[in-house]
Structure 1
Amino acid sequence: MVVYLDVLFGVNALMDYTTLLAAARLGGVSVKRRRLLGAAAVGGTYSAAAMLFPALALAPLRILSGIGLCAAAFAGQRAFARLCALYFVVAASFAGLAAALGAASGRQLLTGAGYYAAVPLRVLVLAAAAGYAVSGIFLRGDALHGPVRREVETLRICFGGKACELRVLHDTGNGLFEPVSGKPVVVMDRAAAVELLGEAGRPLRDGTMAASEALARLPPRLAGRFGLLPYRAVGTESGLLLYFRPDSVYRADGKPLDCVCAVGPDQIGQGAYDGLIGV
């Protein structure tokens, strides 16, 4: 079979972009498109190089190249390891379905260097769509919650000149509102809150400190932006959460969210997400 390097590059860059985008969506993170495009271009270049130098197509090097693509696309994300795992799951789904569809059509779709469009483009598109659907049945929105989709979105929270991106799960059990204003409450992972709050977060580093004591230890110039929020949870008859009024909160689409933020337990979501928000 005659293989054209430009076609090989283009097809694999397209499939790598699709795979990385699917991993990001399934992981509930927001990634800039230019990072995905850059990583996809690296993947296309690797496939072309592997055609010229077959040793690059050996399994260990293919795994390393996959990790490199994830680093190019997802470096800096809190759940980087999980995103890598999602990438490989989606990539395996795509490749398996592409091989099956290629065999059914009697044409070759996969080479040692990656995908090659030796079949009609609609077959390639069908393989990608089917792979996304199959992996999404189990992983969409939050890979740790099985087939039931629980939406995760990314918020950008700003406070005191600092900003962080927080992945929050839409939780039907979170009905918290600020008592005075009635604003909804975003419950943050304690570590994420401490990092965002800077000086104001120092009293929170001790996870055993009561919310009321942490409030009393805040610097006077910042204390007016904080308060105490009563709550109830499974296993807790009643309690208090320390909350604060952020400078701004934006959704992934750029729309502002008028809310307050509360400091939650040491870890929320076991790395799958970093906070909770009501539906």
Structure 2
Amino acid sequence: MTVVYIDSVFALNALADYLLVYSAAQLAGARLRRLRFFLAALLGGAYAAAVFLPGMGWLTVPPVKIAAGVLMALAAYGGEPRFLRLTLLLFLVSCGFAGCVLALGLAAGRGMPMENGIFYTNVDTRVLLISAAAAYLVLAVVFRASARRSGAGGFLVPVTVAFCGTRAALTALCDTGNTLRDPVTGRPVLVASAEKLKSLWPPELGPLLTPHALRAPAQTMERLANAGADIARFRLLPYSAVGVESGLLLAVRLDWASVNGKRQERLLLALSPTSVGDGCDALWGELEGYKPCR
């Protein structure tokens, strides 16, 4: 007869679940909310322990297991704009993790102590960590290769922009598809949604830099000149996008910007009249040397 220690079941599965929700968030470029991931891990550990309690065998039926996974995803990623993608990725990472655990166990000449996908005795912690790392690396290679083919970088970085003594905080997506460059310095141009920059402008400029006004950037440039703005700080940038006709964006020379802690003096900021994407306020066309938000 197999003896099951509930505390070991809870601890092992909570550790595994934390690694899973963390890895899925890393791969998706989502914000790494460690406290929420810890809560999701506790829920996963509690579910695993409950399976072995008398009369709780119904928890192992597939619909209930899926519901438990979705509950974990809600605890970890609830409120994220790409919640469905993160949930599907969590299930994919879980499958990869389980496969790596099984493969390592067979390679070691012994099976893994699992029942209905749940660890129930003392699993070698090294096997657990190596399995999580292997699953993460395999999926990371797949995702990065996909990103190279699609031209998308795929991770988020914190950004602070400063203009005339005022600052605004943004979240930018590192996107190699954004090839917009400053014609003066050759540096990447930060492209941000105008809706997220309302607090950045002085009172006299705010009414002139609304999303509606920026749909006609040439006319907005004219109005800025008529209003006595420092027009030397503004310029019109030509752009083109896949499936979209070419056009112009109004851009402004910032005092400075900090992109994931790297200060950029007098960076050019292009103002988009529309949202630039789900889960981000801006696009940054440089990947090398940057890491995802922590």
Aligned to 1:29: 30
**Is 1:108 aligned with 2:117?**
no
* CA deviation map 1:92-131 (0-9, x unaligned): 1111222333344322343236234544322222221221
1:243 to 235, 240, 251: 251
- Matched pairs, number: 272
Q: What residue ranges of structure 2 are gaps of 5+ in the alignment?
A: 288-294
Displacement, 1:244?
A: 4.1
CA separation of 1:76/1:58 partners in 2, compared to 1, >3 Å: closer, same or farther?
Answer: same
Change (3 A) 1:75 1:255: farther
Partner of 2:11: 10
Distance 2:131 2:150 in 1: 21
Give yes or no for contact 1:17–1:37 (8 Å, CA) kept in 2: yes
2:171 aligns with one of 159, 165, 168: 165
Structure 1 segment 136-151 matched on structure 2, within 5 A? 136-140=140-144, 150=153
Is 2:135 the counterpart of 1:128? no
Is the 2:172–2:284 Cα contact (8 Å) retained in structure 1? no
Q: TM-score, normalised by structure 2?
A: 0.72
Say if 1:247 and 1:115 are closer, same or farther in 2 by CA, change over 3 A. Answer: farther
Identity of aligned residues (%): 29
Residue among 61, 68, 71 paired with 1:68: 71
Question: Closer, same or farther in 2 for the Cα pair 1:149/1:167, shift >3 Å?
Answer: closer
Aligned counterparts of 2:122 and 2:15: Cα–Cα separation in 1: 15
Q: How do residues 70-89 of structure 1 correspond to structure 2 at under 5 angstroms? A: 70-89=73-92
Q: Which runs of 5+ in 1 are unaligned?
A: none
Shift of 1:8: 1.3
**Take 1:89 and 1:12, find their aligned partners in 2: how far apart are those partners?**
17
TM value normalised by structure 1 = 0.75
1:59 shift after superposition: 1.7
Q: Does 1:233 align with 2:237?
A: no
Over 3 Å counting, the alpha-carbon distance change for 1:149 and 1:216 in structure 2 is closer
Paired AA for residue 9 in structure 2: L
Based on CA coordinates, which of the two structures has the bigger radius of gyration? 2
The one-letter code of the counterpart of 1:227 is F
Amino acid at match of 1:176: R
Q: 2:155 aligns with which of 152, 157, 160?
A: 152
Residue number in structure 2 paired with 1:176: 181
Q: Partners in 2 of 1:212 and 1:66 — Cα distance?
A: 51
- Superposition pairs for residues 206-225 of structure 1, below 5 Å? 206=212, 209-215=215-221
